Homo-oligomer: A and B are copies of this chain.
């Protein structure tokens, strides 16, 4: 399968348009059916594949950073009579299981980022639906804060996956129907069993949409609502956005190099080593200076590079068993940036950067590779970067100086940001999740904010899994990495998905835990993907042939 590139920009979009007009932006989905990411299908009826979703993720990100003045985003279709037909079925029928799973995860993260923009950036997405809005199309609408449907006798919302395709509305659909829109359970059952969808007032009564408006007044109703919603936002009107320029990125056969991040691919050992560079300078003097740095502000630049690196590994390096995080730099310099971010967290730009880090760290949590963090001599896992210690399945810390190594002894440190800025999908911080059974350990950790902790202190406090000196380090790490690479990748994926999210469940954990796991199961079953299965037979005129055992 060809290498997938997650970097794009509006001048390259094939499927979306952004039209900004003061406080309100319109995001128009107008899929180019000839521009699918892979061969073998046409993106008819505004159906989508990963390429369409990569552009959407870019749209969401740019509106947040480049358009502080935009308070409401209206999503609409650029086609007549169809809003969006959902994920492209021929694409789903043709790609590998691994791609389907990765595709669904990325689209889910993108839907969640729409909700994050609404809830936390106060850039509220509303969905203006005219025409058929089915499956993944309705799931796009569900991710928006409000859905306004044209009442024209033909525009409908639908989740026809089960009756038509023998798969689930797996991009959050089932979960948002029950838990976001709180549709009555028997109505949810009826709705999800209907090929043809629901329209008009009934869609409102059943809580599937918020409002209907006749075609003649639809534009007006949407505009009015967009203005009302904009009025409650705290986004600044006169601020200048930060332009997200192309990443500084070089690909070689076994490496991806960015300015602050490098990824080394060891295909034999099946390890991707991601090394992060700490800041080389002090944080800017004030927010004006930070705004002037724009996308070169250390923390933003690093977040963008790390985010891209994670997606590269997920999609383009499928056989990597382990992601091994390393870092190089001065812990004090990272803490200084954390303090600057914390001190300015009321500023729209700093809020965006903190929220972006939150999403990137969630992307780490949701990456189905073993995550290990290696705090070696000379590393700088402090504050925001210390989250990578707690996001890891295991963390190894070097104890003392290593012979023949002139880098300083490894130290880790916490900042205020470790105690609330970066909640996981379960709504808890990584430290709260880690210490679910010993909440007093969170308090003890908090008492050390700003201190540089050595390996024995860190181990004692439960902040790392192991501390080894240079006699044991190499063997212990090697054994772990070899062992991990020898286990069944499937069992590890499933085990980690269960162990990483202790504690409360949220709509997000339900989507990634329950809904995704069931969808992945369905994506393996012959009734969906077999030669006579529904995905393969879709559009051939032949009915799928099902094994009728209920499992």
Contacting pair B436 A490 (CB below 8 A)? no
A156 to B30 CA separation, bound complex (whole angstroms): 61
Q: Which residues of chain B have C-beta atoms less than 8 A from A499's C-beta?
A: 174, 177-178, 185, 188-189, 192
> Interface-forming stretch among A281-289, A297-305, A513-521?
A513-521
Contacting pair A489 B546 (CB below 8 A)? yes
Question: Which of A162, A320, A369, A395 has the most B CB atoms < 10 Å from its CB?
Answer: A162
A182 at the interface (CB under 8 A from B): yes
**A551: which of B168, B187, B490 is its contact (CB, 8 Å)?**
B490
A185 to B496 CA separation, bound complex (whole angstroms): 10
Q: Which residues of chain B have C-beta atoms less than 8 A from A320's C-beta?
A: 550
A181 at the interface (CB under 8 A from B): yes
Q: Which residues of chain B have C-beta atoms less than 8 A from A319's C-beta?
A: 548-550
**A392: which of B167, B168, B186 is its contact (CB, 8 Å)?**
B186
Contacting pair A493 B168 (CB below 8 A)? no
A456 at the interface (CB under 8 A from B): no
**Residue of B with least CB distance to A502:** B178
Of residues 137 through 187 on chain A, the ones whose CB sits less than 8 Å from some CB of chain B are: 161-163, 165-168, 174-175, 177-179, 181-187
**A495: which of B174, B183, B491, B502 is its contact (CB, 8 Å)?**
B174
A389 to B488 CA separation, bound complex (whole angstroms): 43
Q: Which residues of chain B have C-beta atoms less than 8 A from A494's C-beta?
A: 168, 518-519, 521-522
Contacting pair A489 B547 (CB below 8 A)? yes
Of residues 530 through 547 on chain A, the ones whose CB sits less than 8 Å from some CB of chain B are: 534, 544, 546-547
Contacting pair B515 A518 (CB below 8 A)? no
A5 to B177 CA separation, bound complex (whole angstroms): 39
A404 at the interface (CB under 8 A from B): no
The prevalent SS among residues of A at the interface is helix
A185 to B175 CA separation, bound complex (whole angstroms): 26
A546-B489, A550-B321 known; A434 vs B517 contact (CB < 8 Å):
no
Of residues 274 through 322 on chain A, the ones whose CB sits less than 8 Å from some CB of chain B are: 318-321
**A185: which of B178, B179, B186, B433 is its contact (CB, 8 Å)?**
B433
**Residue of B with least CB distance to A550:** B489
Contacting pair A186 B394 (CB below 8 A)? yes
A527 at the interface (CB under 8 A from B): yes
How many residues on A have C-beta within 8 angstroms of the other chain's C-beta atoms? 92
**A492: which of B368, B509, B550 is its contact (CB, 8 Å)?**
B550
A324, chain B: closest CB distance, angstroms: 14
A460 at the interface (CB under 8 A from B): no
Contacting pair A436 B551 (CB below 8 A)? no
A136, chain B: closest CB distance, angstroms: 16
Question: Which of A192, A193, A395, A438 has the most B CB atoms < 10 Å from its CB?
Answer: A193
Q: Which residues of chain B have C-beta atoms less than 8 A from A505's C-beta?
A: 504-505, 509-510
Contacting pair A522 B490 (CB below 8 A)? yes
Q: Which residues of chain B have C-beta atoms less than 8 A from A392's C-beta?
A: 186
Number of copies: 2
Q: Which residues of chain B have C-beta atoms less than 8 A from A549's C-beta?
A: 98, 318-319, 489
Of residues 467 through 514 on chain A, the ones whose CB sits less than 8 Å from some CB of chain B are: 483-485, 487-500, 502-505, 509-510, 513-514
A61 at the interface (CB under 8 A from B): no
A504 to B369 CA separation, bound complex (whole angstroms): 28
A546 to B321 CA separation, bound complex (whole angstroms): 12
A243 at the interface (CB under 8 A from B): no
Contacting pair B521 A488 (CB below 8 A)? no
A368, chain B: closest CB distance, angstroms: 6
Contacting pair A183 B544 (CB below 8 A)? no
A525 at the interface (CB under 8 A from B): yes
**Residue of B with least CB distance to A187:** B465
Contacting pair B487 A190 (CB below 8 A)? no
A433, chain B: closest CB distance, angstroms: 7
Q: Which residues of chain B have C-beta atoms less than 8 A from A175's C-beta?
A: 498
Q: Which residues of chain B have C-beta atoms less than 8 A from A34's C-beta?
A: none
Contacting pair A498 B527 (CB below 8 A)? no
Of residues 92 through 117 on chain A, the ones whose CB sits less than 8 Å from some CB of chain B are: 97-98, 101-102
A264 at the interface (CB under 8 A from B): no
Q: Which residues of chain B have C-beta atoms less than 8 A from A361's C-beta?
A: none
New A-B pairs, 9, CB < 8 Å, besides A186-B465, A490-B522, A497-B514: A97-B551, A98-B549, A168-B495, A178-B436, A189-B393, A488-B527, A488-B546, A491-B527, A493-B550
10 sample A-B contacts, Cβ–Cβ < 8 Å, listed by A number:
A165-B491, A177-B499, A178-B502, A188-B499, A485-B548, A488-B528, A488-B546, A491-B522, A517-B520, A524-B524
